[in-house]
Structure 1
Amino acid sequence: MVGDRLAREGLSDRLRRGNLLAVDCPSREVLKHVTSRWGVLVLIVLEGGTQRFSGLRRAIGGVSERMLAQTLQWLEADGLVLRVARDVVPPHVEYSLTPLGSEAATRVRGLADWIETSLPRILDAAPERR
């Protein structure tokens, strides 16, 4: 239980980690960015290597330019995505995962894989989705 865990931790341990259950904890914003539909998909695509904006947009079906740009900004601000502007003609920007981003991608990949392999059972359990 959460209360048992908090009782075992010292104050310094609690100050070093987030508390998703606390309304004002900044970890909630990171959770929102990482687990958003587009956040998950960006992390999964970048797990395969560096991409330009247009490559990400092609790889992620249905994402608008606006949503992709916003998602990349969020993930960059959270320290999960590295944005590098290349000084070439024509100029272009590349996106890749930071070490933290690679850790996050591994974890969301596990959830995404579970969803994909469990989809038949999920559809059977939710008849209104068929």
Structure 2
Amino acid sequence: MHRLRLDRVLFALLFCLVLADPIHAQTRVRTPDKGVIGYGVDAGVLFPNESLENTFTWDGFGEYYVTPRVGIRGLLSFANPGFVDRPEDHFRQIKLLFSGVYNWEKGSWRPFAQVGAGFYFVRQHLDQTT
């Protein structure tokens, strides 16, 4: 049984390697190009210090290339962990970040430099009913 499983794994790996032809996978268009827009959302888990509970984080981000070498980026993130032993109280955290990025080509290697700034909004929400 173990030998059969190993054969299947090796066959699947070989099949994937044959399909991943690097010549056909490469793009012929200059990327990034002027006017290219990228955006997305992200979810994760925040593991803060021992006084706060673990919580989900939600992020939204976007990027716009002004020229093929210069882009601007933005990120909005939200987390709302509760306090340990006081789950009705929360420590809300919101991040709003902006940055500019410059990239250049060195063959197949594309280094970049980035500079940015941001705002971090932090607020305690205490339940006053107890």
Question: Normalising to structure 2: TM-score of the pair?
Answer: 0.18
Between structures 1 and 2, the one with greater helix share: 1
Of structures 1 and 2, the one scoring higher in RCO (CA 8 A, sep 6+) is: 1
**What TM-score comes out, normalization by structure 1 length?**
0.18
Q: Which has the larger radius of gyration?
A: 2
**Bigger share in strand:** 2
